[in-house]
Amino acid sequence: MALVFSSGSVTGGPRSASKILDAARDVLSGQGYAALTIEAVAAAAGVGKSTIYRWWPSKEALVADALAQIFRAEEIPDLGDTHAELRCAVDMTIDNYANEDMAASLPALAAGLLPHPELLARFREAFLHRKRENIAAALHRGIQRGDLPDDLDTDLVQDIWAGTILYRRLMIGSPLDADLAEHLVQLVTNRPPLLPHRGAGARAVTDP
């Protein structure tokens, strides 16, 4: 069990920590992020608030660790097939945001950490950096094979993938299925033509 925000030793050891993290996810599922409190988690875990505060300095830190345990960020295997590797990358991102607790809590959690730059930096390290580095490695392998353009912006690709998935999950409720995954991969591998900029000489395109 890797604790991201834990600040020290905990009475009861790893088993107590695991129990607290399980309780935090249970409260999160049942009551939502806004209603989650340290008191509620302590009651669900059968521990005192002081025990939780010995490990985690705040609600945000506790929730971040609870979610980190279910957040996928593993390396993308070198399959010798760029399309297959990018499907692994997109599927991993979909799996993360298909999780109801993760999708509903991450935006609120990030907002709650904004006033705390140190915690926000640790949050980004736990949730974003390793995953982005692993996906970027797969994209760079595709570039080296000649399957992807040399000037591909790997950061922007990941922003587009994650932004699309999270928007569909939270805002419009579109399915996060294999069709979506395939279309997101094809955005990169097929390099669709750019739409013309609207401006002088450009005709606005409207729905039929």
CATH number at 126 reads 1.10.357.10
The answer to whether residues 46 and 104 belong to one domain is: no
Are 126 and 162 part of one and the same domain?
A: yes
pLDDT in tens, 145-193: 999 999 999 999 999 999 999 899 888 888 899 999 999 999 999 855 4
Please check whether residues 119 and 180 belong to one and the same domain. Answer: yes
Gap between the Cα atoms of 26 and 18, Å rounded: 12
Count the domains in the chain: 2
Please answer whether residues 24 and 70 qualify as being in contact, where contact means their C-beta atoms are separated by less than 8 angstroms. Answer: no
- Residue 113 resides in a domain: yes
Angle at alpha carbon of residue 42, lines to 100 and 40, rounded to 5°: 55
Same domain, 182 and 100: yes
Domain contains 119: yes
Give me the chain's average pLDDT, please: 83
Q: What is the pLDDT of residue 206?
A: 41
Residues above pLDDT 90, as percent of the chain: 47
Whether 120 and 28 share a structural domain: no
In CATH, what number is assigned to the domain containing residue 55? 1.10.10.60
Note the pLDDT of residue 5. Answer: 66
25-39 burial, b if ≥16 CB within 10 A, otherwise e?
A: bbbbeeeebeebebe
Residues 109 and 181 both lie in one domain? yes
Asked if residue 40 is part of any domain, the answer here is yes
- Tell me the residue range of the domain where 51 lies: 13-66
- Say what the pLDDT of residue 207 is: 41
Q: Is residue 206 part of a domain?
A: no
What's the pLDDT score for residue 100? 74
Whether residues 108 and 180 share a domain: the answer is yes
Is 6 domain-assigned? no
pTM: 0.75
State the pLDDT at residue 128: 83
Question: CA nearest 71: which of 136, 123, 20?
Answer: 123
Residue 45 lies in a domain: yes
pLDDT tens digits, 69-122 = 888 889 999 999 999 999 999 999 999 888 777 777 777 787 877 887 887 887
Domain-embedded: residue 5: no
The answer to whether residues 181 and 119 belong to one domain is yes
Please indicate, yes or no, whether residues 182 and 86 belong to a single structural domain of this protein.
Answer: yes
Q: Which token pair is 120?
A: 């926000």
Q: Tell me, yes or no, whether 30 and 125 share the same domain.
A: no
Q: How confident is the model at residue 2 (pLDDT cuts 50, 70, 90)?
A: low
